[in-house]
Structure 1
Amino acid sequence: MRVVVADDADGVRDLICLLLDLEPDFTIVGRAANGAEAIDLVAETGPDLVILDVAMPVLDGIAALPEVRRLVPGARVVVFTGFSAHTVRDEALALGADDVMEKGLGSGPLVDRLRAVCRRPAPAA
Protein backbone atom coordinates (compact mmCIF):
# COMPACT_ATOMS: atom_id res chain seq x y z
CA MET A 1 0.00 0.00 0.00
CA ARG A 2 1.33 3.41 -1.01
CA VAL A 3 0.78 5.83 1.88
CA VAL A 4 0.61 9.61 2.38
CA VAL A 5 0.87 10.73 6.01
CA ALA A 6 -0.30 14.23 6.98
CA ASP A 7 0.31 15.54 10.50
CA ASP A 8 1.64 18.92 11.59
CA ALA A 9 3.55 17.38 14.52
CA ASP A 10 6.91 16.33 13.08
CA GLY A 11 7.43 13.67 15.75
CA VAL A 12 4.04 12.06 15.20
CA ARG A 13 4.40 12.13 11.42
CA ASP A 14 7.92 10.68 11.63
CA LEU A 15 6.82 7.95 14.05
CA ILE A 16 3.94 6.83 11.82
CA CYS A 17 6.27 6.78 8.82
CA LEU A 18 8.90 4.84 10.77
CA LEU A 19 6.35 2.26 11.91
CA LEU A 20 4.96 1.78 8.41
CA ASP A 21 8.43 1.73 6.80
CA LEU A 22 9.16 -1.37 8.91
CA GLU A 23 6.21 -3.19 7.34
CA PRO A 24 6.73 -4.84 3.94
CA ASP A 25 3.20 -4.05 2.74
CA PHE A 26 3.37 -0.27 3.33
CA THR A 27 5.45 2.26 1.37
CA ILE A 28 5.50 5.93 2.35
CA VAL A 29 5.13 8.03 -0.81
CA GLY A 30 4.49 11.40 0.85
CA ARG A 31 4.72 13.34 4.12
CA ALA A 32 2.72 16.51 4.68
CA ALA A 33 2.58 19.05 7.51
CA ASN A 34 -0.88 20.40 6.64
CA GLY A 35 -3.97 19.59 4.62
CA ALA A 36 -2.96 21.71 1.62
CA GLU A 37 0.36 19.84 1.32
CA ALA A 38 -1.53 16.57 1.71
CA ILE A 39 -3.82 17.42 -1.20
CA ASP A 40 -0.83 18.28 -3.40
CA LEU A 41 0.92 15.00 -2.48
CA VAL A 42 -2.23 12.96 -3.05
CA ALA A 43 -2.65 14.52 -6.51
CA GLU A 44 1.02 13.85 -7.28
CA THR A 45 1.34 10.29 -5.92
CA GLY A 46 -2.12 8.68 -6.12
CA PRO A 47 -1.74 6.73 -2.85
CA ASP A 48 -3.73 3.71 -1.70
CA LEU A 49 -3.95 5.00 1.88
CA VAL A 50 -4.07 8.55 3.24
CA ILE A 51 -3.66 9.28 6.96
CA LEU A 52 -4.94 12.76 7.87
CA ASP A 53 -4.51 14.47 11.23
CA VAL A 54 -7.57 16.46 12.25
CA ALA A 55 -5.94 19.61 13.64
CA MET A 56 -3.39 21.04 11.21
CA PRO A 57 -2.56 24.59 10.12
CA VAL A 58 -3.44 26.04 6.70
CA LEU A 59 -6.10 23.37 6.06
CA ASP A 60 -7.15 20.79 8.64
CA GLY A 61 -7.74 17.13 7.89
CA ILE A 62 -11.53 17.39 7.94
CA ALA A 63 -11.47 20.28 5.45
CA ALA A 64 -8.97 18.42 3.22
CA LEU A 65 -10.93 15.16 3.29
CA PRO A 66 -13.48 15.89 0.51
CA GLU A 67 -10.74 16.94 -1.93
CA VAL A 68 -8.60 13.92 -1.03
CA ARG A 69 -11.61 11.66 -1.62
CA ARG A 70 -12.28 13.39 -4.98
CA LEU A 71 -8.66 12.95 -6.10
CA VAL A 72 -8.33 9.29 -5.07
CA PRO A 73 -11.85 7.89 -4.76
CA GLY A 74 -10.60 4.31 -4.47
CA ALA A 75 -8.06 5.03 -1.72
CA ARG A 76 -8.61 4.35 1.95
CA VAL A 77 -8.63 7.50 4.10
CA VAL A 78 -8.03 7.37 7.85
CA VAL A 79 -8.52 10.40 10.06
CA PHE A 80 -6.00 10.40 12.91
CA THR A 81 -6.84 12.53 15.92
CA GLY A 82 -5.50 13.61 19.27
CA PHE A 83 -9.09 14.34 20.30
CA SER A 84 -11.60 11.67 21.23
CA ALA A 85 -12.47 9.77 18.06
CA HIS A 86 -16.15 10.17 18.98
CA THR A 87 -15.79 13.95 18.66
CA VAL A 88 -14.99 13.83 14.94
CA ARG A 89 -16.16 10.35 13.87
CA ASP A 90 -19.58 11.25 12.46
CA GLU A 91 -18.34 14.24 10.47
CA ALA A 92 -15.27 12.40 9.17
CA LEU A 93 -17.26 9.34 8.09
CA ALA A 94 -19.91 11.54 6.44
CA LEU A 95 -17.14 13.24 4.42
CA GLY A 96 -15.75 9.91 3.22
CA ALA A 97 -13.24 8.72 5.81
CA ASP A 98 -12.93 4.95 6.08
CA ASP A 99 -11.99 5.08 9.77
CA VAL A 100 -11.12 7.43 12.61
CA MET A 101 -8.28 6.49 14.95
CA GLU A 102 -6.99 8.11 18.12
CA LYS A 103 -3.31 9.02 18.40
CA GLY A 104 -3.06 7.14 21.71
CA LEU A 105 -3.37 3.81 19.88
CA GLY A 106 -0.30 1.59 20.37
CA SER A 107 1.97 0.86 17.42
CA GLY A 108 0.87 -2.77 16.97
CA PRO A 109 -2.86 -2.01 17.10
CA LEU A 110 -2.36 1.00 14.80
CA VAL A 111 -0.66 -1.07 12.10
CA ASP A 112 -3.26 -3.85 12.52
CA ARG A 113 -6.16 -1.42 12.15
CA LEU A 114 -4.59 0.24 9.10
CA ARG A 115 -4.21 -3.19 7.49
CA ALA A 116 -7.84 -4.01 8.32
CA VAL A 117 -8.99 -0.76 6.69
CA CYS A 118 -6.89 -1.52 3.61
CA ARG A 119 -8.44 -5.00 3.29
CA ARG A 120 -11.98 -3.62 3.15
CA PRO A 121 -13.62 -3.40 -0.27
CA ALA A 122 -12.71 -0.22 -2.12
CA PRO A 123 -15.15 2.69 -1.77
CA ALA A 124 -17.43 3.31 -4.71
CA ALA A 125 -15.75 5.73 -7.11
Structure 2
Amino acid sequence: MSFTSQMIFNITIIFITVTLVVGVILSGIALFRIAGALKLRNRMLRQATRPYLICQRNHQQLMIKNLGPVSVTIDEIESDFDLTSLNQQLIYANQSLYYNLTKPDKLTLSVKYHDEIDNYQADFNL
Protein backbone atom coordinates (compact mmCIF):
# COMPACT_ATOMS: atom_id res chain seq x y z
CA MET A 1 0.00 0.00 0.00
CA SER A 2 1.36 3.40 -0.91
CA PHE A 3 1.75 6.31 1.46
CA THR A 4 -1.05 8.31 -0.23
CA SER A 5 -3.58 5.52 -0.03
CA GLN A 6 -2.58 4.91 3.60
CA MET A 7 -3.21 8.64 4.41
CA ILE A 8 -6.60 8.58 2.64
CA PHE A 9 -7.50 5.42 4.55
CA ASN A 10 -6.51 7.01 7.91
CA ILE A 11 -8.42 10.23 7.14
CA THR A 12 -11.50 8.19 6.21
CA ILE A 13 -11.31 6.22 9.46
CA ILE A 14 -11.00 9.44 11.49
CA PHE A 15 -13.92 11.01 9.60
CA ILE A 16 -16.14 7.95 10.16
CA THR A 17 -15.20 7.83 13.86
CA VAL A 18 -15.99 11.52 14.38
CA THR A 19 -19.27 11.13 12.49
CA LEU A 20 -20.27 8.16 14.66
CA VAL A 21 -19.42 9.99 17.91
CA VAL A 22 -21.36 13.09 16.83
CA GLY A 23 -24.31 10.90 15.77
CA VAL A 24 -24.39 9.09 19.13
CA ILE A 25 -24.24 12.40 21.02
CA LEU A 26 -27.03 13.93 18.93
CA SER A 27 -29.16 10.79 19.31
CA GLY A 28 -28.71 10.90 23.09
CA ILE A 29 -29.71 14.56 23.21
CA ALA A 30 -32.78 13.83 21.09
CA LEU A 31 -33.80 10.94 23.35
CA PHE A 32 -33.52 13.09 26.48
CA ARG A 33 -35.62 15.82 24.86
CA ILE A 34 -38.24 13.28 23.81
CA ALA A 35 -38.34 11.84 27.34
CA GLY A 36 -38.78 15.34 28.79
CA ALA A 37 -41.57 16.14 26.34
CA LEU A 38 -43.37 12.88 27.19
CA LYS A 39 -43.15 13.61 30.93
CA LEU A 40 -44.60 17.08 30.36
CA ARG A 41 -47.39 15.66 28.18
CA ASN A 42 -48.26 13.05 30.81
CA ARG A 43 -48.33 15.68 33.57
CA MET A 44 -50.61 17.89 31.48
CA LEU A 45 -52.92 14.96 30.70
CA ARG A 46 -53.13 14.04 34.37
CA GLN A 47 -54.03 17.62 35.29
CA ALA A 48 -56.63 17.86 32.53
CA THR A 49 -58.32 14.56 33.36
CA ARG A 50 -58.06 14.47 37.14
CA PRO A 51 -61.17 14.74 39.30
CA TYR A 52 -61.79 17.85 41.37
CA LEU A 53 -64.14 17.50 44.32
CA ILE A 54 -65.69 20.58 45.89
CA CYS A 55 -67.77 20.79 49.04
CA GLN A 56 -70.23 23.60 49.62
CA ARG A 57 -72.78 24.28 52.27
CA ASN A 58 -76.23 25.39 51.14
CA HIS A 59 -78.25 26.26 54.24
CA GLN A 60 -78.82 22.86 55.87
CA GLN A 61 -77.32 20.76 53.09
CA LEU A 62 -73.80 19.68 52.29
CA MET A 63 -73.11 19.46 48.57
CA ILE A 64 -70.19 17.37 47.29
CA LYS A 65 -69.63 17.81 43.57
CA ASN A 66 -67.17 16.25 41.16
CA LEU A 67 -66.02 18.92 38.72
CA GLY A 68 -63.58 16.64 36.91
CA PRO A 69 -64.18 14.65 33.71
CA VAL A 70 -63.80 11.22 35.38
CA SER A 71 -65.67 9.46 38.15
CA VAL A 72 -64.26 9.21 41.68
CA THR A 73 -64.82 7.05 44.72
CA ILE A 74 -64.81 8.65 48.15
CA ASP A 75 -62.53 6.61 50.39
CA GLU A 76 -63.00 8.45 53.66
CA ILE A 77 -64.53 11.65 54.98
CA GLU A 78 -63.26 13.00 58.28
CA SER A 79 -65.46 15.61 59.92
CA ASP A 80 -67.26 16.65 63.09
CA PHE A 81 -70.37 14.95 61.68
CA ASP A 82 -70.92 11.28 61.08
CA LEU A 83 -70.59 11.13 57.28
CA THR A 84 -69.60 7.47 57.08
CA SER A 85 -72.62 6.81 54.84
CA LEU A 86 -70.77 8.69 52.09
CA ASN A 87 -67.70 6.44 52.28
CA GLN A 88 -67.15 4.27 49.18
CA GLN A 89 -69.69 6.42 47.34
CA LEU A 90 -69.09 6.72 43.58
CA ILE A 91 -69.50 10.20 42.12
CA TYR A 92 -69.63 10.47 38.35
CA ALA A 93 -68.34 13.46 36.37
CA ASN A 94 -70.37 16.61 37.06
CA GLN A 95 -72.55 14.76 39.55
CA SER A 96 -73.44 16.17 42.97
CA LEU A 97 -74.24 14.44 46.23
CA TYR A 98 -76.35 16.13 48.87
CA TYR A 99 -76.32 15.34 52.56
CA ASN A 100 -78.71 16.94 55.05
CA LEU A 101 -77.05 18.69 57.97
CA THR A 102 -78.72 19.16 61.32
CA LYS A 103 -76.35 21.63 62.96
CA PRO A 104 -75.77 25.14 61.66
CA ASP A 105 -72.22 25.15 63.10
CA LYS A 106 -69.07 25.49 61.10
CA LEU A 107 -67.99 22.31 59.42
CA THR A 108 -64.48 21.07 58.67
CA LEU A 109 -64.10 18.24 56.16
CA SER A 110 -61.17 16.20 54.99
CA VAL A 111 -62.06 14.08 51.98
CA LYS A 112 -59.86 11.29 50.66
CA TYR A 113 -60.86 10.04 47.23
CA HIS A 114 -59.43 8.24 44.22
CA ASP A 115 -59.98 7.67 40.53
CA GLU A 116 -58.57 4.84 38.45
CA ILE A 117 -55.08 6.38 38.40
CA ASP A 118 -54.29 8.23 41.62
CA ASN A 119 -55.38 9.09 45.18
CA TYR A 120 -56.27 12.63 46.26
CA GLN A 121 -57.13 14.52 49.41
CA ALA A 122 -59.02 17.79 49.84
CA ASP A 123 -59.71 19.84 52.97
CA PHE A 124 -62.68 22.19 53.35
CA ASN A 125 -63.78 24.70 55.98
CA LEU A 126 -67.50 25.40 55.63
TM-score, scaled to structure 1: 0.24
More strand by share: 2
Q: Which has the larger radius of gyration?
A: 2
- Relative CO higher for 1 or 2, CA cutoff 8 Å, sep ≥ 6? 1
TM-score, scaled to structure 2: 0.24
